[in-house]
Amino acid sequence: MQKIGFVGLGIMGKPMAKNLIKAGYDLAVYDIVPQRVSELVKAGAKRCRSGKDVAARSEIVITMLPNSPQVMDAVLGPGGVLEGAKTGTILIDMSSIAPRASREIAAKAQGKGVVMLDAPVSGGEPKAIEGKLAIMVGGPADAFEQVKDILGVMGATVIRVGDIGSGNVTKLANQIIVALNIAGMSEAIVLAKKAGVDPQKVFQAIRGGLAGSAVLDAKMPLVLKGSFKPGFRIELHIKDLANALDTAHELGVPVPLSSLVMEIMQVLKADGKAGDDHGGLIQFYEKLAKVRVRG
């Protein structure tokens, strides 16, 4: 069985790495937070001192980090993955970063004989724990076929969408749709509450119709409980929308609705709610309408 390295053991990376261990893979791990590494070592992983160390022990290296700068540092920086990677290593970046950054990292990796795939995910912490993420992959078809089964341990759907960078373009499209769905859900349910209609009954009535969605089913129950414990933090969605807006502007694509939801999230961030789950976006509408959906 192939030796796999994993760099980045945060909210998403930790359960993803644990699923690889459960599937029987030989896993070497590294994170800048030592306690996270220790938890994975207890689960059966090998402790590494750096990304370089991870790569030296692995045939395939997975990175799962917050944004483009962190991935570039972890892969290209001192003590990074490329310093330890052997010719023929496959690098799978599962972070959600700018497509331009993915292409830049891939070009530098290619210069060292390393093939890169960008493979961002959707589904948040619950799906990461269940191993049922949606994984969208960009990069060479032959490399994808080599790692498809590994990705399948972490995801319910694993789809190659095109060349390097296209995985992150797909993720940006995903994040636009999710953000706009949450905003629409929030507007609608605050309206219902203000009109004196039970939000729980509204949810049950509409979920089976055209307004029903995976977003509605995942987020409405939490909103109704007033639970904004992060499965996916507002500050991370802000990061994704920033990458979406930058990419759209580079391509000359207008994204007015995305821009509006971005500003709503920025208001919540300024109000100290950046660490809330993105379902907490409803708090913006509650404050304006002077009504409380939950509770």
Catalytic residues: 171
Let me know: does 79 contact 35? Beta carbons within 8 Å: no
Pairing state between β 60-63 and 115-118:
unpaired
Q: Where are any strands of DSSP class E within the chain? A: 3-7, 26-30, 46-47, 60-63, 90-93, 115-118, 121-122, 133-138, 155-162
Going by C-alpha positions, the residue among 114, 121, 153 that lies closest to residue 137 is 121
| Residues 21 and 43: beta-carbon distance below 8 Å | yes
Comparing CA positions, the residue from 174, 294, 270, 276 lying closest to residue 232 is 276
CA-derived radius of gyration, the chain: 20
Core vs surface per residue 159-196: b (16+ CB within 10 A) or e: ebbeebbbbbbbbbebbbebbebbbbbbebbbebbeee
Which residues, in sequence order, are CB contacts of 48 under 8 Å at separation 6+?
5, 28, 29, 30, 37, 54, 57
DSSP states of 143-162 as a string? Answer: HHHHHHHHHHHHEEEEEEEE
Distance between CA 263 and CA 248 in Å, rounded? 16
Neighbours of 80 (CB within 10 A): 21
